[in-house]
Amino acid sequence: MGLLTKILIANRGEIALRIIRSAKKLAIQTVAIYAESEKESEFVQLADEAISLGIGELTSTYLNIERIVQIAIATGSEAIHPGYGFLSENPAFARACEENHLVFIGPTSEVLRLMSSKPDAKSLAESLNIPVVLSQKINLLSKVSDEIHLNYPLLIKASYGGGGKGMDIVYNYQELFETIEKSSRIALNYFGNGELFAEQYIHNARHVEVQILGDNFNNIIHLYERECSIQRNHQKIIEEAPAIFLSPELRNEILGAAVKIGKAVSYTGAGTVEFLIDETGNYYFIEMNPRIQVEHAVTEEVTGIDIVSEQLKVASGFPLSVSQEEVKLTGHAIELRIYAEDPTQNFMPSSSALLSVDLPNEPNLRIESNFNGNQSTINQFDPLLLKLIAKGKNRENAICVLTKNIKNLNILGPETNTKYLETILSHYSYQQNILSVEFCRNTHTTLIESYINKLNPYKLYPLIALAVSKMYLKADFKDSDGPWDFQGYWRSTSADIKISVDSEVYFVTLELKDKSNPAFVLNGVRTAFKIINQSGNITDLEIKNQTSRISAIFESQNNLNITFNNIRYNISFPGLLTSYPEVLADQAFNPNSKSGEIQSPLHGKILEINIIENQIIKKGDLLMVIESMKSENRILSPKDAKVKKIAVNVGAQVTDRMPLIFLEDCK
């Protein structure tokens, strides 16, 4: 018996890269599959072989079972690792592997059939006398609300899926069928199955999950638990291990329940058993994820066990490398998920090109990403950019590591949720571990306040100084007095210029006669600044003894993309020189454009058009739905108006700022 020699990875992004790295440590060759749009990605470059899936919908690429199996056979792969998402919980995929004599790196197709169906998994747990959340399957062909015998509010969930996709709360009958239709469509699109079920919603619950491992020799162990209560729109964004709020008695009950479920199905590989804890300390089984989890890294950090390596060894026919007695917890780990999304636009995916990334370097910080130089975020996939995982001797120490290092994470290009996560870390309730799955909803205004009020004077003056420095001063030789070391500014007297910051134009007077002591005047206030250091895209500058670190890169000759305090800004210089392209102040997406033109705020696909030409609409009416990066984005009317023209059709691929609808005033 020996290890597998070659595996195909039926996934992409950071999890594909994570699997490749563990495989390399075990001298296992890897085959990557990829959509043509991501051929320059790091996981494609690092794999031993890479096969293009071409272009097209997910059904023809990462959800195409027959094609993936054929590629595995053609490349001589012995096994397929499904990662998470896509086909990872699809029993038909596991069965296709088995029928073609390929090892599916995970449980058997029969176990997947049972456990990937959340309603069936609950039935199993009930048979084992494990408490479950009340739930009921939904008949998608029926319109009779009386068939659902649960009290509102209800949580509508995809029977075969995760990541919060297709999940929504409904508070009354009127919301029910609209939600069912939307959730079923999302589930079908991302998991290949539109089945749904309704679950009784538990207020102020905490979410705890147990990592288990099993082999082919009836060994089932747990690697303790994680807490995943910080969720936005039912998707986890911060996870940590262990869940220190649990009493020893409750922890033992939950760990025992997870292992009992694993043993009941003779589970093999890595799996996660998930529970809710209510306000009185009662626990309820909700589902099992029969695959590797996005958040597996926090468990690896506190146990020292490489979960992916264990998957590969088990799939090769070896027993688990550790016994239950050998699994020990050390310290505390917390993971942050960094997404390309705009918190001020209801977390709409941000599909702007990824221009530059500077990652912090810290011994107690682990970074999982898929960066390979400059690349665009791909709108048909999840907007996850990277994960930051901190290890500390305790929870407080891990929070400190993240708080320090998230300030040194500089992402240029798309808007991100980085400041949002930073604000959570500093929130009193989070620091005191007073949490529930409703935390983000209850603190929404506080968490996005920094984005909404981003142009306060404290931030505006460093931004102006940075813009002046980038356009008019060259600081590579900060100790030099040579005239050629300072380019772009030739006047010996002051000059008035215009600087546009996020489309707001400011009139600035430059005072650069003494290049070693630059200054500017804004709103009658003279501000001197000093460039402390410039390295790559990062500039450290000082104003009134306060140092600011700002990342900036020129997107064009006259336009700067900036990240300051983990918030994105755009700066341009209107009318600087005739040789420079003019950047209009209203270039940013604005659905209230006086022309009546509604532009697409992102790249994506038109799912629904809810209006017709010549229709009279009201402000706030739903105009259309655009799918982008695994989310549905609702385009609402900015005013009362008449629909003059609809410029797109259902199914059309649209790009950022592309015209969608033309409105005219009602007569």
SS (H, E, C) 57-69: CHHHCCCCHHHHH
Above 70 in pLDDT, residue 31? Answer: yes
Q: Are 47 and 9 a contacting pair, CB within 8 Å?
A: yes
Lowest model confidence (mean pLDDT) among 379-383, 437-441, 488-492, 539-543 = 488-492
Residue with tokens 């594909």: 16
Q: Which residue, among 374, 294, 296, has the nearest Cα to 339 in the 3D structure?
A: 294
The helix/strand/coil state of 98 is: helix
- Percentage of the chain beyond pLDDT 70 is 90
Q: Of 50, 63, 92, 111, which is closest to residue 268 (Cα–Cα)?
A: 111
DSSP conformation letters of 259-322 = HHHHHHTT--EEEEEEEEE-TTS-EEEEEEE-S--TTHHHHHHHH---HHHHHHHHHTTPPPSS
Mean pLDDT confidence for 633-646: 88
Average pLDDT over residues 61-87: 96
SS3 for 427? coil
Q: Report the amino acid identity of residue 544.
A: K
Reading the block at residue 318, the tokens are 């070896």
Decide if pLDDT at 657 tops 80: no
132-167 per-residue burial string, b: 16 or more CB within 10 A, e: under 16: bbebebbeeeeeeeeebeeeeebbbbbbbbbbbbbb
- Give the pLDDT band (50/70/90) at residue 593: very low
Q: Say if CB 216 and CB 316 are below 8 A apart.
A: no
Structure tokens at 420: 């949002």
Confidence grade of residue 486 (pLDDT, cut at 50, 70, 90): very low
In tens, the pLDDT along 251-273 reads: 999 999 999 999 999 999 999 99
Answer for the pair 419, 450: CB distance below 8 angstroms, yes or no: yes
> What residues does 165 pair with on adjacent strands?
none
Question: Looking at residue 588, what is its pLDDT?
Answer: 36
Residue 565 has pLDDT above 50, yes or no: yes
Over the stretch 169-228, which tens digit does the pLDDT of each residue have? 888 887 887 888 888 888 877 777 788 888 888 999 999 999 999 999 999 999 999 999
List where CATH 3.40.50.20 sits in the chain: 6-105
**What's the pLDDT score for residue 168?**
84
Mean pLDDT throughout 497-507?
A: 93
Q: What is the DSSP letter of 54?
A: -
How confident is the model over 412-458, as pLDDT tens digits? 988 999 999 999 999 999 999 999 999 999 999 999 998 888 888 88
Integer Cα distance of 540 and 550 in angstroms: 6
Q: According to CATH, where is 3.30.470.20 located in the chain?
A: 206-452
Q: How confident is the model at residue 338 (pLDDT cuts 50, 70, 90)?
A: very high
Instruction: Considering only residues 31 and 165, tell me which one the structure prediction assigns the higher pLDDT.
Output: 31
Closest CA to 383 of 359, 418, 356, 408: 418
Three-state SS for 178? helix
Q: Distance of alpha carbon 497 from its chain centroid, rounded?
A: 39
Phi, psi (5° rounding) for residue 485? -85, -5
CATH class of the structural domain 206-452: alpha beta
CATH 3.30.700.30 region(s) of the chain? Answer: 457-572
Given a cut of 90, whether residue 148 has pLDDT beyond it is no
**pLDDT of res. 546:** 94
Q: Where does residue 491 fall: left (phi above 0), alpha (psi -120 to 50 degrees), or beta otherwise?
A: beta
- Tell me how far apart the alpha carbons of residues 489 and 509 are, in angstroms, rounded to a whole number: 13
Tokens coding 3: 């290890």
- pLDDT range class, residue 629, cuts 50, 70, 90: low
- Residue 659 has a CB neighbour count (10 Å cut-off) of 15
Residues 589-613, buried b or exposed e (16+ Cβ, 10 A)?
eebeeeebbbbbbbbbbbbbbebee
Per-residue confidence at 143, pLDDT binned at 50, 70, 90? Answer: low
Q: Which CATH number fits domain 457-572: 1.10.3720.10, 3.90.550.10, 3.40.50.261, 3.30.700.30?
A: 3.30.700.30
Q: Choose the catalytic residue: 18, 291, 337, 568.
A: 291
Q: Where in the chain is the domain with CATH 2.40.50.100?
A: 597-664
State residue 99's pLDDT score.
97
* Residues contacting 469, CB < 8 A, separation 6+: 475, 518, 529, 531, 539, 541
Residue closest to 311 by CA, chosen among 453, 388, 215, 442: 215
Distance between CA 50 and CA 56 in Å, rounded?
Answer: 18
The pLDDT score that the predictor gives to residue 478 is: 44
Say which amino acid occupies 196. Answer: L
- As a whole-number percent, the residues of the chain with pLDDT over 90 amount to 60
Q: How do strand 597-599 and strand 567-572 relate by DSSP bridges?
A: unpaired
**Residue entry with tokens 């629909």:** 643
Check pLDDT > 90 for residue 29: yes
Task: Give the rounded distance of the alpha carbon of 265 from its chain centre.
Answer: 32
| pLDDT tens readout for residues 90-99 | 999 999 999 9
pLDDT at residue 491 greater than cutoff 80? no
Q: Nearest-CA neighbor of 206 among 238, 170, 168, 245? A: 245
Angle 296-299-301 from CA coordinates, rounded to 5°: 110
Q: φ and ψ at 531, to 5 degrees?
A: -85, 115
In whole angstroms, what is the distance from residue 468 CA to residue 396 CA?
40
For the chain, the average pLDDT equals 88
What confidence score (pLDDT) does residue 667 get? 67
* Contacts of 202 by beta carbon, 8 Å cutoff, 6+ apart: 133, 276, 278, 284
CATH 3.30.1490.20 assigned to domain 134-200? The reply is: yes
Q: How far apart are CA 318 and CA 314, in angstroms?
A: 5
Q: Which CATH class is domain 597-664?
A: mainly beta
Output Rg (C-alpha) for the chain, integer angstroms.
Answer: 27
- pLDDT at position 618 is 87
Judge whether 291 counts as a catalytic residue. Answer: yes
CATH architecture label of 6-105: 3-Layer(aba) Sandwich (3.40)
